Structure 1
Amino acid sequence: MNSFCGNCVFFTCFAVFTTFFGKLVLHLDINKRSYNHVPGECGIIPNLPGILSLTTSTGGRLYMTTNSKNGISDNTHIFTFYPDNRTAREIEIRGAPPQRRTKPGPMSVAVDSNNPNIFVFNRQTGNVDVFGTNELSDVWEYRKSLKTEKFSGISALSASGTNSFYYVKSGVWSDNFALNILERTFSFPSGEVGFAKGKVVQHLTYLSSPSGIIYDSLKKTIFVTSFSRESLYVLKMKKNNIIASSKEYNIGCSPTSIWEDFDGSFLITCQPVRFRYLLHVFDVTSSAPSMVLRVVVPVNNETELSITQLYSNDGATISLANVTVRAGRSLLISNGNKILNCHL
């Protein structure tokens, strides 16, 4: 009898283990591979560092933050990009307090064509710095810094007004490298979507490893990408920032960022093979494939997404791409160290 019970326990545990292992293999995309596909002629843009984050104003100006070699960057690492001649010009910051240091991260421009505000998350201080610009010159006027502990670990933000924005945090352990990798690998709903108006912060919902956010003021809708769930969430909002409805769409790869084009479609940069992404994180000499999708969200929730693959590479040309933007008739794809220009 004891032998029979022991065998039952063993085979039950073995079945549970093999089931878990099989799901883990599928979850890490070990059964997948990436194929090369480009929209047109591609080449690395010389003399330009890689893009870490970017935002596009209503006037079409592209602002980007770039990598810092010493880990503590200043305003020389914020640029305006000019697509016509593929050059970037340094942003001059005026009116900032003395001894001000910043490590620019995610940023977004408020929709105001006259005198828009630009929100920039400062990785050095954990604050959100607010700048003003008239878009006629490469000069930003420092206006204020929004300070609260709740801003720590912001991974993406999207302006909703001249003094407000929506944001996401990838997880509760976003400042801890090892634990954050676990959050991004497995579908723990520990990431946060929030809203800030000045220093007043409102929690909206928890999602699994959110990596990007876009707020559409006309549709009153928030679009959030989830790395671990390979998904795009569509959150329709009502008054007082209450979520009226939520819809999850699977996009088939793990997104690292989302950018809204002027026609309302989205460019989503993603990792098609998750275990290659993890290998690259722990071994920078290895390469990781990248993919860029154009996604059109339907008006009717019952209709599926329209997804077009614009770019795919096994990592030989550019490894671990994290952001993509369209500039004129070109795609700019970056991994933080260099920018790949592909003609459409």
Structure 2
Amino acid sequence: MNSFCGNCVFFTCFAVFTTFFGKLVLHLDINKRSYNHVPGECGIIPNLPGILSLTTSTGGRLYMTTNSKNGISDNTHIFTFYPDNRTAREIEIRGAPPQRKTKPGPMSVAVDSNNPNIFVFNRQTGNVDVFGTNELSDVWEYRKSLKTEKFSGISALSASGTNSFYYVKSGVWSDNFALNILERTFSFPSGEVGFAKGKVVQHLTYLSSPSGIIYDSLKKTIFVTSFSRESLYVLKMKKNNIIASSKEYNIGCSPTSIWEDFDGSFLITCQPVRYLLHVFDVTSSAPSMVLRVVVPVNNETELSITQLYSNDGATISLANVTVRAGRSLLISNGNKILNCHL
């Protein structure tokens, strides 16, 4: 009897181990390769730092946060980018409290052409800072900071009004390297999608490692990318922020960010070979891919996916954000910006 029980325990443990190992191998995409493809002539934009996050106003102004050499950045690291001459101008912030320190992270502009607010997640304090913007100048007016412990760890946000926004957190263990690998490998739905209006926060749903979010006010729909599931979620909303329906689309690579173009399509920056991503402690030669994705109106129809850019890491590695500026793609990995003509 003891021998039988011992065999049961052994084979159970063996099955669990082999399942875990198989999932890990598939998760790391060891069987995948990345090939080079460019839409047109590409080149690094000189004298500009890399983009960490960005947002586009209704008037077409591109705001971006950039890398900080000392790890504690201030408002000198928030810029307006001018695509015509490929230059960036520092944002002047007025009305902020003395000795204010910020490490700017994800940000989003409210869809209000008359007096838009911009929400910026402050990685230094864990707050969401709110600024008033002006389409005619590079000046922001500090308005307030939204403070709640529930904002800690926000990885992306999307404004839905002058005082409200949707946000995602990548996972409950995102700061723990080993546990974060477990989250990603087994696609645990431990990442959060939430809504905030002022300091009032509402939980919406849990997803696996959400990496980007877009709210479309006309369609009343939230679009969320999932890194570990290589997916784009389409969440249709109804009153009181209740999810009416949810649809998951596979995009074939692990997205790191999503940006909505003016025609309603999305530019998704993604990682085609996950085991080379920097979260697994690799700092160079990680490939990058950019997709243009059109979401169908009918849920029964598949996505329209066009590969715009792919690189094995020699030109730009670990790309984390992409935006279209005129007839060019701007692709960044946080350290430099690659300009590719369309």
Could you say which TM-score interval applies, normalised by the shorter chain?
over 0.9
3-state SS of the aligned residue for 1:245?
Answer: strand
- When residues 258 and 45 of structure 1 are mapped into structure 2, their CA distance, relative to the original with a 3 A threshold, is same
3-state SS of the aligned residue for 2:277?
Answer: helix
Is 1:121–1:129's contact at 8 Å kept on the other side of the alignment?
yes
- When residues 185 and 16 of structure 1 are mapped into structure 2, their CA distance, relative to the original with a 3 A threshold, is closer
Distance 2:15 2:148 in 1: 48
Which piece of structure 1 moves more, 170-179 or 330-339?
170-179
Q: Superposed, which structure 2 residues align to 1:9-158 within 5 Å?
A: 13-158=13-158
1:261-295 residue CA offsets vs partner (Å, 9 max, x unmatched)? 0000000000011xx54564454454211110000
Shift of 1:23: 3.0
Shift of 1:184: 3.4
Distance 1:10 1:198 in 2: 54
1:118-174 residue CA offsets vs partner (Å, 9 max, x unmatched)? 000000111100000121000000011111110000000000000000000001123
Is 1:277–1:320's contact at 8 Å kept on the other side of the alignment?
no
Is 2:30–2:275's contact at 8 Å kept on the other side of the alignment?
no
Shift of 1:25: 1.4
TM-score when normalising by structure 2: 0.95
1:175-202 residue CA offsets vs partner (Å, 9 max, x unmatched)? 3344334433430111000000000000
1:86-132 residue CA offsets vs partner (Å, 9 max, x unmatched)? 10000000010111111000000000111100000000111100000
Shift of 1:6: 6.1
Structure 1: 5+ residue runs without aligned partners?
Answer: none
- When residues 329 and 170 of structure 1 are mapped into structure 2, their CA distance, relative to the original with a 3 A threshold, is same
Is 1:117–1:133's contact at 8 Å kept on the other side of the alignment?
yes
Distance 2:181 2:150 in 1: 21
- When residues 10 and 148 of structure 1 are mapped into structure 2, their CA distance, relative to the original with a 3 A threshold, is closer
3-state SS of the aligned residue for 2:6?
Answer: helix
- When residues 104 and 210 of structure 1 are mapped into structure 2, their CA distance, relative to the original with a 3 A threshold, is same
Number of corresponding residues: 342
3-state SS of the aligned residue for 1:235?
Answer: strand
Shift of 1:219: 0.2
Shift of 1:314: 0.7
- When residues 100 and 309 of structure 1 are mapped into structure 2, their CA distance, relative to the original with a 3 A threshold, is same
3-state SS of the aligned residue for 1:268?
Answer: strand
Shift of 1:10: 5.0
Tell me the residue number matched to 1:336: 334
Is 2:225–2:258's contact at 8 Å kept on the other side of the alignment?
yes
Is 2:23–2:186's contact at 8 Å kept on the other side of the alignment?
no
Distance 1:169 1:198 in 2: 18
Distance 2:87 2:107 in 1: 20
Distance 1:278 1:185 in 2: 14
Structure 2: 5+ residue runs without aligned partners?
Answer: none
3-state SS of the aligned residue for 1:243?
Answer: strand
Which piece of structure 1 moves more, 184-193 or 223-232?
184-193
- When residues 133 and 19 of structure 1 are mapped into structure 2, their CA distance, relative to the original with a 3 A threshold, is closer
Which piece of structure 1 moves more, 6-15 or 96-105?
6-15
Is 1:271–1:277's contact at 8 Å kept on the other side of the alignment?
no
- When residues 124 and 7 of structure 1 are mapped into structure 2, their CA distance, relative to the original with a 3 A threshold, is closer
Distance 2:184 2:245 in 1: 25
Distance 1:119 1:287 in 2: 33
Distance 1:327 1:193 in 2: 29
Shift of 1:27: 2.0
Is 1:109–1:116's contact at 8 Å kept on the other side of the alignment?
yes
- When residues 107 and 280 of structure 1 are mapped into structure 2, their CA distance, relative to the original with a 3 A threshold, is closer
Is 2:284–2:318's contact at 8 Å kept on the other side of the alignment?
no
Is 1:280–1:287's contact at 8 Å kept on the other side of the alignment?
no
- When residues 185 and 85 of structure 1 are mapped into structure 2, their CA distance, relative to the original with a 3 A threshold, is farther
Distance 1:207 1:244 in 2: 16
Distance 1:192 1:280 in 2: 22
Distance 2:153 2:217 in 1: 25
1:61-81 residue CA offsets vs partner (Å, 9 max, x unmatched)? 000000001110000000000
Which piece of structure 1 moves more, 281-290 or 75-84?
281-290
Distance 1:4 1:141 in 2: 73
Distance 1:5 1:130 in 2: 62
3-state SS of the aligned residue for 1:43?
Answer: strand
